[in-house]
């Protein structure tokens, strides 16, 4: 499909009602763009086809509290040397202590993310790192609401929402993590938990919010177990539906990542599931060889 002009729902919505949407020759329409055109009564030109929704694939490394500066630097240099040609974009989230040097060593090979962000602006907030300070270091992303922080630091939905909002104000894309506990899963509450965490985190933000969502079942993180394929698909589709409800059109294009015991062995099959547009990786992102393989698998 490379090189063919893609027409998205946004293109259709940007065209004022009553005017024909510009459809270049050989256009590929996203499914939603096709549906919207139908609603407007505009016929598809000959040669137009309908392709998959255009979501860039992301593979995000979450190093957690691992790596001192020398190890972080060695990883970033090795990654920059060997970064695979991939349609997927790698995002590396080192600890705060290594952000600046990882950024310098990575160059263009991957984007930089933080593992958390303060809900406060710069000022008298001891120990906090403000979103504007992360942006200043070149961070394009910040993980928000990771289940380890929800469990260990008592982060609740309202704090997560403030962090999402603080990140967006500094033009940082929050990688919003949601997911159920084992008990909630066994009680059949996954859909409810995923939807309500998304709704709470995005309340009031509407269409302006450029976010990434990560579905991370808590019981799968760091345990070497992953949900069944149908469980991942169901949760990711629930997430997409809730994103569209909260963010409108933009929500249909929000990348939805899966995270929780992703490994070189299971990455391809998880990435092939409907609704999954990337990975959030903890343990398997600490080793540069395995992270390179995960990025290659996604592309």
For the annotated catalytic residues, the residue numbers are 146, 216
- Figure out which of the listed residues 117, 172, 271, 280 binds ligand PGA, where binding follows CB under 6 A: 280
Q: Is 262 in the site for ligand PGA (CB under 6 A)?
A: yes
Secondary structure element (H or E) that encloses residue 167, with its range: helix 157-169
Q: Is 221 in the site for ligand PGA (CB under 6 A)?
A: yes
Name the one range near ligand PGA by CB under 6 A: 67-75, 93-101, 258-266, 288-296.
Answer: 258-266
Residue 155 and residue 158: Cα distance in Å, rounded? 8
Q: Is 145 in the site for ligand PGA (CB under 6 A)?
A: no
Query: Hey, which residues between 181 and 210 contact ligand PGA (CB under 6 A)?
Result: none
- Figure out which of the listed residues 168, 211, 283, 295 binds ligand PGA, where binding follows CB under 6 A: 283
Q: Enumerate long-range contacts of 7-15, CB under 8 Å, 24 or more apart.
A: 7/33, 8/32, 8/33, 8/54, 8/253, 9/33, 9/36, 9/249, 9/252, 9/253, 10/249, 10/253, 12/36, 12/37, 12/40, 13/249
- Figure out which of the listed residues 30, 57, 62, 277 binds ligand PGA, where binding follows CB under 6 A: 62
Quote the tokens at residue 85: 């040609």
Q: Is 48 in the site for ligand PGA (CB under 6 A)?
A: no
∠ at Cα 285 (91, 265), nearest 5°?
115
Length of the chain: 299
Q: Is 198 exposed, middle or buried (0-12, 13-18, 19+ CB in 10 A)?
A: buried
∠ at Cα 40 (35, 44), nearest 5°?
65
Smaller CB separation from ligand PGA, 32 or 220? 220
**Residue 54, C-beta contacts closer than 8 angstroms, at least 6 positions apart:** 6, 8, 30, 253
Smaller CB separation from ligand PGA, 280 or 295? 280
- Figure out which of the listed residues 142, 209, 243, 281 binds ligand PGA, where binding follows CB under 6 A: 281
Q: Is 216 in the site for ligand PGA (CB under 6 A)?
A: yes
Name the one range near ligand PGA by CB under 6 A: 119-127, 130-138, 162-170, 277-285.
Answer: 277-285
Name the one range near ligand PGA by CB under 6 A: 129-137, 179-187, 228-236, 275-283.
Answer: 275-283
Name the one range near ligand PGA by CB under 6 A: 74-82, 109-117, 201-209, 214-222.
Answer: 214-222
Helices (H) and strands (E) in the chain, counts: 13, 11
Per CB under 6 A, residues contacting ligand PGA are 62, 216, 221-222, 259-262, 280-284
């Amino acid at each position: 499909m490379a090189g063919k002009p893609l027409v998205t729902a946004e293109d259709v919505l940007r065209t004022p009602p009553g005017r024909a949407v510009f459809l270049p020759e050989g256009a590929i329409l996203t499914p939603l763009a096709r549906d919207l055109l139908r609603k407007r009564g505009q016929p598809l030109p000959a040669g137009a086809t309908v392709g998959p929704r255009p979501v860039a694939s992301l593979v995000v490394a979450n190093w957690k509290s691992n790596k001192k500066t020398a190890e972080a630097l060695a990883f970033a240099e090795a990654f920059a040397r060997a970064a695979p040609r991939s349609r997927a974009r790698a995002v590396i989230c080192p600890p705060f202590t290594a952000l600046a040097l990882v950024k310098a060593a990575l160059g263009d090979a991957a984007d930089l993310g933080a593992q958390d962000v303060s809900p406060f602006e710069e000022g008298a907030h001891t120990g906090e790192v403000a979103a504007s300070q992360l942006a200043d270091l070149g961070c394009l992303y910040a993980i928000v609401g990771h289940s380890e922080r929800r469990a260990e630091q008592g982060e609740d939905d309202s704090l997560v929402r403030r962090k999402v909002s603080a990140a967006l104000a500094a033009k940082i894309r929050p990688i919003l993590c949601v997911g159920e506990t084992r008990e909630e899963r066994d009680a059949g509450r996954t859909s409810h938990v995923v939807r309500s965490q998304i709704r709470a985190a995005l309340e009031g933000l509407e269409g302006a919010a450029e976010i990434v969502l990560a579905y991370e079942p808590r019981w799968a993180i760091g345990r070497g177990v992953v949900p069944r394929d149908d469980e991942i698909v169901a949760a990711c589709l629930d997430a997409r539906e809730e994103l569209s409800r909260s963010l409108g059109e933009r929500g249909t294009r929000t990348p939805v990542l899966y995270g929780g015991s992703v490994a070189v062995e299971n990455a391809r099959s998880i990435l092939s599931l409907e609704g999954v547009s990337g990975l959030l990786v903890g343990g398997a992102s600490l080793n540069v060889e395995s992270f390179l393989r995960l990025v290659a698998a996604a592309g």
